[in-house]
Copies of this chain bind each other. A is one copy, B any other.
Amino acid sequence: MKPLKVGIIGLGRIGKIHLDNLLKIPTVEVVTAVNPSEAGQSYAKALGVPNTTSDADELFDNTEIDAVIISSSTDTHAQYAVRGAAAGKAIFCEKPLDLSLETVKGTLEKVNAAGVPLMVAFNQRFDQNFSAIRSAVVSGQIGELHTLHIISRDPGPPPIAYIKTSGGLFKDMTIHDFDMARFIVGSEVAEVFAKGHNLVDPAIGEAGDIDTGIVTLTFENNATAVIENSRKAIYGYDQRLEVFGSKGMMKCENPLKTVNQFYNESGGHTDRNLDFFIDRYEKAYQLEIEAFTSALANNRPMPVTGEDGLQALLIAEAANRSLAESRPVKLKEIQL
């Protein structure tokens, strides 16, 4: 079998994870790694990537390259996706495609016109706990789905500078949960009601953002999802789901580093929650990139599409409007 030839753009924190995981797949060959700075390039060079460069053209102009992994900064995603499409390459792009709804729509139009496959990287879908819950819904084990509850809390807020350009809590953090909700429920969101507060750090409020969000999503199939977000859980990364339906309930606790339990004078104790999403989703990142390359190799549809990216962004826009106007917002109000 001919190996899949891949180029990667952006070797920051996430890009390195993707590169590591690509190198573990025997049927994949990483040909070119693009990064503006030396640091990222030498990381790739040490791992044996033959061509490392700061010039993205070397990737897009190389007709041998089948697919491009875009893990550069968010503001460059759309342009690289458009160039990849123009060059006829399959595209794996970190979320979000862009913070602007218009840009996302324009990008998707060009990608679709070019007829190249595009996968938007919602890594959490590939977590084995969450995907087993989705499977339980699909298989009918839950029965008719009535409610979904998502808890998603980070160990601490990002730097204020990041928050200012992040697009806000709903586009930056909750967007994962919006996608997860659509993934689990398997229906489209009809209405969004959002509450938000600035409780974690006043500086976040001064930067114009909230750090605590509670969003109620009503789906077209009458299921309801509630999402609870916080920028700071003092006990570490907290990411849980619960689905409830006519035939049962399934929930997922946080996986910990060990399954050990300690008992002493003050009671029973378990490990602290994991502190980084990279630890929490180590396996999910691996399964995600494998899903992309395997779909390409087998001519199967992308497991997460550009449309999925667009829908999550639409919901985030609706959440922003709901928060601003203190009322439930129909998704079709946004789609205009």
Contact = CB atoms under 8 A, between A and B. Distances in A.
Nearest to A128: B258
Interface string A126-155: 001100110010000101101101010100
Interface stretch (A66-74, A86-94, A168-176, A248-256): A248-256
Interface in A259-314: 259-273
A23 to B, nearest CB: 9
Contacts of A232: 246
B224 A133 contact: no
Contact of A199 (B153, B246, B257): B246
A258 B26 contact: no
A19 interface: no
A71 to B, nearest CB: 20
B233 A262 contact: no
Nearest to A213: B224
A256 B261 CA distance: 15
A110 interface: no
A37 interface: no
A261 B253 contact: yes
Interface stretch (A7-15, A177-185, A214-222): A214-222
Most buried by B among A132, A244, A273: A244
B265 A249 contact: no
A266 B235 CA distance: 7
A219 to B, nearest CB: 10
A263 B235 contact: yes
B230 A146 contact: yes
B216 A235 contact: no
A3 to B, nearest CB: 12
Contacts of A128: 257-258
A264 B235 CA distance: 4
B228 A262 contact: no
A336 interface: no
B265 A272 contact: yes
A197 interface: yes
B224 A249 contact: no
Closest 6 CB pairs of A and B: A248-B264, A268-B270, A235-B263, A267-B272, A129-B258, A250-B262
Interface of A: 24, 26, 46-47, 128-129, 132-133, 136, 141, 143-144, 146-147, 149, 151, 153, 193, 195, 197, 199-200, 212, 214, 216, 218, 222, 224, 226, 228, 230, 232-235, 238, 244, 246-273, 326-328
Given A235-B263, A269-B269, 5 more contacts: A146-B199, A216-B216, A235-B265, A235-B268, A269-B270
